[in-house]
Structure 1
Amino acid sequence: MGVSDAGKTTLMDVLSGRKTGGVIEGDIRIGGHPKVQDTYARISGYCEQTDINSPQITIEESVTFSAWLRLPSHIDRRTKSEFVADVLQMIELEDIKDDLVAYPGVSGLSNEQRKRLTIAIELVSNPSIIFMDEPTSGLDARAAAIVMRVVKNIVKTRRSVVCTIHQPSIDIFEAFDEVTK
């Protein structure tokens, strides 16, 4: 948590292995062991602060496309489809799965629905740990609360969630505090 330019995203990028520029010094250890980036990349997902989704396809098509690209090829079509359906339910998008993503601020999904879609696209790769860079930024209190409810749904599946957050309301701050409970 911190103000703009405090280094939240940079820290998250370094921890997740996505930082490609600058100088990084020191060791990253997980459970006391040096982090092996190739392994870590396979078990983690990363939701960027900005949502970049294809406007011409539906929510379900977006998540399905991600599943086909990211899940192992030995997983059959039916299992992938069932997993996509499970993710859509967990992220609370199943009721609008046939809606077009469309263009931000013009048509289609709200900002909060776009955030949840971004999370679903990462979650469908079945990561053990998921990084979220300011998932509530730019959202009103109601929309932020919905995103936090989705984060709680993810935690209930025994996945680790690492988030940055910028100037949260007390309700959102307490929601982060309660995620592990």
Structure 2
Amino acid sequence: MKMHGVEKHHLRLLEDVSGPFRPGILTALVGVSGSGKTTLLDVLAGRKTSGYIEGSIYISAYPKKQSTFARVSAYCEQIDIHSPHVTVCESLILSTWLRLSSNVDTKTRKMFVEEVTELIELDKLRDALVGLPGIDGLSTEQRKRLKIAVELVANPSTILMDEPTSGLDARSAAIVMRTMRNIIVAYEFSWELTR
């Protein structure tokens, strides 16, 4: 970097970033490649493992406490982390056991799995093996929906998604976007019931 005239020791990717997000509203973060969208989501989700993170993060005017935010939020990263040797339903059940509090009973966990499977339109694929990407098992679009479902069974109040439609054709992207719309409609309905 110094050879190109940059005097600083490290490159600053994000500076003075802020923005409002309303409940129940799908908000898209748009920018050119390399503008820091993934970096921002990684920092917000607490998943940034390299570089320097300085400054303060506030959520609803309160300083962000990572342990609390991790319990009430979900993050669908770009990378595919599914185990190829389990079914869709087994992936979701495993996520409930890893992500929900230990005082949540088995019946409630199964209820979450059933509701999310129907919401994400994976009910016909519940017994399908995940498989390896591009070789067997689920298609890329189905894997994206499974990724969203795995996060939703943790019952988050906030979900962050990094490029949920990247690598998909128009039809597959429309299916994933319909899934996101279903999530918002379900969220609005549950929010109306609690008011």
Q: Does 1:89 align with 2:118?
A: yes
Task: Quote the offset at 1:26 in angstroms.
Answer: 2.1
Shift of 1:91: 0.7
Q: Counterpart of 1:139 in 2: which secondary structure?
A: coil
Residue 102 of structure 2 aligns with an amino acid whose one-letter code is S
- Which entry has the higher C-alpha Rg, 1 or 2? 2
CA distance in structure 2 between the partners assigned to 1:7 and 1:69 by the alignment:
30
Q: Report which stretch shifted further, 80-89 or 21-30.
A: 21-30
- Aligned pairs for 1:72-111 (under 5 A) are 72-111=101-140
Specify which of 85, 106, 119 is matched with residue 56 of structure 1: 85
Structure 2 counterpart of 1:51, which letter?
A: D
TM-score using structure 2 length = 0.78
Equivalenced residues, count: 159
Q: Which runs of 4+ in 1 moved over 6 A?
A: none
Q: How far has the Cα of 1:76 moved from its partner?
A: 1.5
Structure 1 residues without counterparts, runs of 5 or longer: 160-181
SS in 2 for 1:146: helix
1:151 to 180, 184, 194: 180
Over residues 44-72 of structure 1, what are the superposed CA-to-partner deviations in whole Å (9 max), with x where a residue is unaligned? Answer: 11111122101111100111111111111
Runs of 5+ consecutive residues of structure 2 not aligned to the other structure:
1-29, 189-195
Partner of 2:99: 70
2:52 and 2:131 map into 1 onto residues whose CA distance is: 39
How far apart are residue 148 of structure 1 and its match? 0.6
**1:4 is aligned with what amino acid?**
S
* Matched-pair identity in %: 60
The within-5 A match list for 1:1-181 is 1-158=30-187
What amino acid is the match of 1:134?
A: E
